[in-house]
Structure 1
Amino acid sequence: MAYSGNKGLKRIIKAGQYSWQGFRAAYKHEEAFRQEVWGLVIAVPLALWLGDNAVEKSMMIGSLLLLLIVELLNSAVEAVVDRTGLELHKLSGRAKDMGSAAVLLAIINVLVVWVLMLS
């Protein structure tokens, strides 16, 4: 396992910088991520307004954040698969399809949570 040598506050700062780079890269290169970020920008105020209590609001917002998390992981899988080569391979296709299926389930989760909270 690689060890950077960073400890304490320096490690936390570096981790934050790497995370910010990841957000920027996803926003720049991934259309789906951009769409989901803008959906979040619109939906979070709606959740705060429409949710009856803290639990409902947190579940509605949490479902949106989970979607972004899954989208980031899917994009990471796709980037690694594409990095290893452009030739078609059954396992590469399977990895990408599974990532896409995870995003679909996260979207369904958002819909289920929001419908249940608002009904």
Structure 2
Amino acid sequence: MEYPELESYFQELTDRTDRIATMNTHFDANPKNDIDEMLAFHENLVSIPWDQAERSYFDLFCSYFSFHLKIVEEIIMEAREILDPENRPYVKQLVAYTKASEEWFNSLKKNKKKTIKAQVA
């Protein structure tokens, strides 16, 4: 399998995430559209067998994805501090996204450990 170049791949995700963060500012924001775009990107992301990549690539992927999740968590925390009632459904959607992403990510890392142990044995 040919894997994407991680820096540019995650820059796309970062750009989408940055647009979502504008919901916590005074700038015009379109969180529904921005979240939908991030979710579509995420569908593609989870379809890639990252755990089958070589270890150094996988570790770099984990670093990028962990950072992405931290940024989404910060957007949620900031939105909760602001308490804009219009953003409540988007915050709930981001919380659900984070939870599902963390579960998927933990499963992916477990699968990678199993693969590494099987290769060593």
- Structure 1 length as normaliser, TM-score? 0.40
The structure number with the bigger radius of gyration is 1
